[in-house]
Chain A
Amino acid sequence: KNQVEQSPQSLIILEGKNCTLQCNYTVSPFSNLRWYKQDTGRGPVSLTIMTFSENTKSNGRYTATLDADTKQSSLHITASQLSDSASYICVVSSSGTYKYIFGTGTRLKVLA
């Protein structure tokens, strides 16, 4: 069964600290993996998209990694800011029919 699991469910960190969010998937055949940031009351915003051959992709202070062998991805946030407080959603799509399977998200709270 195609599934995407994210951990932790929620996370609280202090401003300036780093954090890492996890995404494990069982989607097959794999096409790509996306990380989205969603602020409260707004639509998701794409952070990164990675295909099978990509191990790391950065977008400013956000760095995503992908291990296609273990079917794991992580999103690392460096020097967190208050504006990083949001939900982070991992989405994996399968090739061919482009099915999109969504994780339930990690809710991050950055405190001053």
Chain B
Amino acid sequence: DAGVIQSPRHEVTEMGQEVTLRCKLISGHNSLFWYRQTMMRGLELLIYFNNNVPIDDSGMPEDRFSAKMPNASFSTLKIQPSEPRDSAVYFCASSLVVSTDTQYFGPGTRLTVL
């Protein structure tokens, strides 16, 4: 299996633009997690899904952020409008089940908002 796939790997955009990050889960996995990592705040969980249903989105910083799972193997994280403080590395991870199973992380998307 190719593992969790994220695209793009790098994104540079200007403040105010819409940004869409993409994630493909490992085949057969049912849970999907979106994380953000910065030097200042470390790793933060933004939202996670189980069987395509959002379970906890309390980590989503504000309404500018939205995440969807249009099908069982794919997810998007959208930021609209983007701001410089959104600059970070965004990871997605998938697991078989949400509770005690191992999460497998993708390589991340490095987002820079100018």
Complex: chain A residue closest to B101, CB-CB: A49
Please name the residue on chain B nearest to A50 by beta carbon: B100
A46 at the interface (CB under 8 A from B): yes
- Known contacts A43-B106, A43-B107, A44-B105; A98/B55 CB under 8 A: yes
Interface residues on A, range: 20 to 34
In the complex, chain A residues whose CB is within 8 Å of the CB of B107: 42-43
Residues facing B in A34-53 (CB within 8 A) are 34, 42-46, 49, 51
Binary CB contact string for chain B from 42 to 53 against chain A (1 if under 8 A, 0 otherwise): 111100100000
- In the assembled complex, the CB of B30 is this many whole angstroms from the nearest CB of chain A, namely 14
User: Which of A43, A49, A105 lies in contact with B93, CB distance below 8 A?
Assistant: A43
Partner of B56, one of A45, A98, A104: A98
User: Across the interface, which residues of A come within 8 angstroms of B42, CB to CB?
Assistant: 89, 102-105
A-B pairs, top 6 by smallest CB distance, nearest first, are: A43-B105, A46-B102, A100-B45, A104-B42, A102-B43, A43-B91
- A residues touching B (Cβ–Cβ < 8 Å)? 31-32, 34, 42-46, 49, 51, 89, 91, 97-100, 102-105
